[in-house]
């Protein structure tokens, strides 16, 4: 792993002079100010990485604009694709909330150790280490017991294990 990159003084001055202008231009072109700022930052990161070559160009500013514009276009295309793909996904219907009595019945169906672990974790909001201390078992046993309890509850609710 390499250490921090030393910033040449001429790069620092160029960055200070250019950064605000570049971000403003990119913000004017796209609806996402964060994407514009990220694109500008990416352009400057690449410029710093290749500063020996970039500073000798006829127009380092033009190079930075080109890199940032390309990065912004790429980001906006990716965001549009993600929106289209998400729009194709089926929207799940609402999952009915089980009644307090139904939850109590489900928990009553668990073995005592699982029921205790679930209560300590999800009602008392204790971390696994504290549950282990309270129950006199190891943390690994707590994790295993909670996993078994979640599987049993999921089976009772007819849910996939990934849904729990």
Question: Domains in the chain and their CATH numbers?
Answer: 9-88 (no CATH), 100-163 (1.10.10.10)
Rounded (10°) angle between helices 9-29 and 33-49: 150
- Distance, in Å, from the CA atom of 134 to the CA atom of 123, rounded to the nearest integer, reads 14
| pLDDT tens per residue, range 47-81 | 999 999 999 999 999 999 999 999 999 999 999 99
- 3's enclosing H/E stretch is none
Q: CB of 27 within 8 A of CB of 36? A: yes
Euclidean distance between the first and final Cα of the chain, in Å?
39
Q: How far apart are CA 129 and CA 102, in angstroms?
A: 29
pLDDT reported for residue 66: 97
Q: Residue 40 pLDDT more than 80?
A: yes
Contacts of 80 (CB under 8 A, 6+ apart): none
Look up residue 4 and give its two tokens: 């921090």
| 13 SS3 class | helix
Supply the pTM of this predicted model. 0.53
């Amino acid at each position: 792993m390499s250490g921090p990159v030393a910033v040449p003084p001429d790069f620092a001055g160029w960055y200070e002079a250019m950064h605000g202008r570049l971000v403003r231009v990119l913000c004017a072109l796209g609806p996402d100010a964060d994407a514009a700022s990220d694109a500008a930052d990416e352009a400057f990161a690449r410029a710093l990485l290749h500063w020996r070559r970039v500073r000798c160009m006829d127009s380092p500013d033009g190079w930075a604009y080109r890199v940032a514009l390309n990065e912004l276009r790429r980001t906006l295309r990716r965001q549009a694709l993600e929106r289209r793909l998400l729009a194709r996904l089926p929207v799940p219907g609402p999952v009915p909330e089980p009644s307090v009595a139904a939850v109590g019945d489900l928990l009553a169906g668990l073995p005592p150790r699982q029921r205790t672990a679930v209560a300590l974790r999800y009602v008392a909001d204790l971390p696994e280490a504290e549950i282990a201390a309270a129950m006199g078992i190891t943390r690994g046993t707590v994790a295993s017991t909670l996993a078994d309890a979640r599987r049993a509850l999921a089976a009772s609710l007819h849910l996939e294990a990934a849904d729990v």
